[in-house]
């Protein structure tokens, strides 16, 4: 039975390392610790211990026991903090998995157990996943807020409000013959509903800001072939990632490179130059480039003084005209740069930084950032709007308020979680 298994994994990073933490969770844990120490040690306290298996001391290190339910997973857990050599870790993992009922954990399995035991809700698990992947300061701040239950608290508050409002209606429906109890509702009922509506709408607004922090600002490098797009990508990435030649039509694939601009992630996207072409590969590149323009948050339209004229494509995103190869003479544009001399690159970076910071917003980190968040909040808002529109027909009002609550429960992971969970945990690393 997989759920009754005790799972074990190396929870720290690549070896060798100073110290490696091996984590155990499940019912076999107390027995294994008793074998190692004779008695169960004081809970949640580190003990220097010889890790002796079958009369061989494999290593000495620190042992800590977290009895259920006060552990990360909610099960009996232990950690063996050992010397971080590949041989030590391998020997101890082998000795532990030789114990009956113990096997290696799958990716994200500790966290899955924490979720299943009610230690974390779905939004907290997502926040934890974001935290493990966080590379920039703004990503860390946003992920910590979500992992610590910031969104859970908000959703919980809205659910309480919905329950209170429903109770007001239902209490009156019980005593009313004709079912129309609108007149009896307290004066602040409509106001409470409007406030809830406003908060949901504001949260939906902040999904974009959260997405920008989580995924980065997507900046498309567009222009005619040879405009200098790949050269700019390389200059910003400070690495010769993309092939640069004087042949127009060099780049065909879309390539994105994430850079950290003052703590905010910016994803620079190199692509094929836009032109009509007979080459099948290049034509596919141009098609992909146009698709990128549709999802970009900003388009840099590059024009070289020696380049072919090209028409600026229509996009929803703002467009900045960048005159490239300024060492050869300056074309018209908001900004002039040369990757050969480095001219204008600092100014461009500074403008990108403030653009990114503006989109990411100042102040409190956003608690919502995912398409799943947007869908959940929009579903709730739709029901609240239906409740507001139908205020005079009270059974329906109560039903819409119930459905709004269901949408919020789904966000928290209380219902319909299987598909979301499988996708989420497969992205976690082993040992988490
Ligand atoms: N060594 C070590 N460091 C770690 C972790 C870990 O598992 N092991 N964590 C792993 O992610 C993070 C810390 N997260 C944790 C979350 C909850 C509990 C825990 O024992 N919770 C109990 C008791 C709470 C309390 O005493 O306040 C509980 O929730 O009941 C431990 C670690 C980061 N650092
Ligand atoms: N003088 C000068 N030449 C440059 C500069 N930037 C790029 N070039 C040259 O312009 C040519 C085209 O540069 P790329 O960066 O490959 O241009 P691209 O827009 O990626 O071109 P495609 O991939 O074909 O669409 C190369 O020969 C570069 O060395 C610059 O700032 N000054
Ligand atoms: Mg190129």
Q: Where are the domains of the chain?
A: 6-118, 124-206+367-413, 217-360
Strands annotated E in 85-161: 102-104
**If one looks up domain 6-118 in CATH, what number appears?**
3.30.1360.120
More confident residue, 64 or 422: 64
Give 240-249 pLDDT, tens digit per residue: 999 999 999 9
Q: Which long-range contacts (CB under 8 A, 24 or more apart) does 132-136 make?
A: 132/428, 132/429, 132/432, 135/258, 135/260, 135/265, 136/213, 136/260, 136/263, 136/264, 136/265
Q: Is CATH 1.10.10.10 correct for 217-360?
A: no
Mean pLDDT, the chain, whole residue set: 93
Q: Please state the ipTM of this predicted complex.
A: 0.85
Ligand 1, closest atom to CA 81?
1
Task: Say if residue 413 carries a ligand binding annotation.
Answer: no
Pairing of strands 56-66, 298-303: unpaired
Which residue has the least CA distance to atom 11 on ligand 1? 72
Contact 23, 110 (CB under 8 A): yes
Nearest ligand, measured from the Cα of 64: 1
What confidence tens digit (pLDDT) does each residue in 230-287 have?
999 999 999 999 999 999 999 999 999 999 999 999 999 999 999 999 999 999 999 9
Question: CA torsion sign, 359 to 364 to 370 to 376?
Answer: negative
Helix (H) or strand (E) holding 298: strand 298-303
Q: Please state, for a pLDDT cut of 90, what percent of the chain lies above it.
A: 82
Q: Which residue has the tokens 């950032």?
A: 369
Do residues 138 and 360 touch, judged by C-beta distance below 8 A? yes
Return the H-helix or E-strand segment holding 265.
strand 264-270
* 131-140, 302-311, 317-326: the lowest-pLDDT one: 302-311
Q: How far apart are the first and last CA of the chain?
A: 21
CA–centroid distance, 10 to ligand 2, in Å, is: 47
| Residue 122: pLDDT over 70 | yes
Backbone angles phi, psi at 61, to 5 degrees: -170, -165
Mutate to test the pocket of ligand 1, among 11, 72, 129 (most ligand atoms within 8 A of CB): 72
Q: Specify whether the CB–CB gap between 381 and 204 falls below 8 A.
A: yes
Fold of 124-206+367-413: 1.20.120
pLDDT, mean of residues 56-85: 97
- Protein residues with CB under 6 Å of any ligand 1 atom: 21, 66, 69-72, 79, 119
Taking the centre of ligand 2 as the mean of its atom positions, its distance from the CA of residue 224, in whole angstroms, is: 11
Q: What is the pLDDT of residue 295?
A: 95
């Amino acid at each position: 039975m997989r759920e009754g298994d005790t799972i074990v994994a190396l929870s720290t990073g690549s070896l060798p390392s100073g110290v490696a933490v091996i984590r155990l969770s499940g019912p076999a844990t107390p027995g294994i610790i008793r074998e190692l120490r004779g008695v169960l040690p004081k809970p949640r306290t580190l003990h220097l211990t010889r890790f002796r298996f079958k009369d061989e001391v494999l290593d000495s290190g620190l042992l800590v026991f977290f009895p259920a339910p006060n552990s990360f997973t909610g099960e009996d857990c232990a950690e063996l903090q050992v010397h971080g050599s590949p041989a030590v870790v391998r020997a101890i993992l082998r000795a532990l998995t030789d114990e009956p009922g113990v096997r290696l954990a799958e990716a994200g399995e500790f966290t899955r157990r924490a979720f299943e035991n009610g230690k974390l809700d779905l939004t907290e698990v997502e926040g934890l996943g974001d935290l493990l992947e966080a590379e920039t300061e703004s990503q860390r701040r946003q992920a910590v807020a979500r992992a610590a239950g910031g969104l859970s608290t908000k959703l919980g508050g809205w659910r309480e409000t919905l329950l209170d409002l429903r109770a007001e209606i239902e209490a009156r429906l019980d005593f009313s013959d004709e079912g129309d109890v609108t007149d009896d509702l307290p004066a602040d009922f409509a106001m409470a509903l409007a406030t809830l509506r406003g908060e949901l709408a504001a949260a939906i607004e902040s999904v974009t800001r959260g997405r920008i922090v989580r995924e980065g600002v997507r900046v498309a490098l567009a222009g005619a072939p040879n405009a200098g797009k790949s050269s700019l990508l390389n200059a910003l990435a400070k690495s010769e990632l993309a092939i640069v030649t004087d042949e127009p039509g060099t780049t065909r694939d879309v390539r994105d490179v994430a850079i950290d601009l003052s703590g905010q992630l910016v994803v620079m996207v190199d692509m094929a130059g836009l032109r009509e072409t007979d080459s099948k590969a290049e034509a596919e590149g141009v098609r992909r480039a146009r698709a990128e323009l549709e999802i970009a948050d900003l388009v840099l339209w590059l024009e070289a003084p020696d380049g072919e004229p090209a028409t600026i494509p229509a996009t929803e995103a703002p467009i900045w005209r960048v005159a490239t190869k300024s060492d050869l003479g300056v074309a018209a544009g908001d900004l002039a740069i040369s990757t050969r001399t480095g001219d204008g690159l600092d100014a461009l970076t500074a403008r990108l930084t403030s653009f990114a910071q503006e989109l990411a917003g100042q102040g409190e980190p956003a608690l919502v950032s995912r398409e799943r968040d947007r869908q959940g909040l929009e579903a709730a808002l739709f029901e609240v709007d239906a409740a507001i529109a139908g205020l005079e027909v009270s059974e329906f009002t109560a039903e819409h308020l119930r459905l709004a609550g269901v949408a919020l429960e789904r966000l928290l992971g209380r219902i319909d979680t299987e598909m979301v969970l499988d996708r989420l945990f497969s992205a976690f690393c082993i040992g988490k």
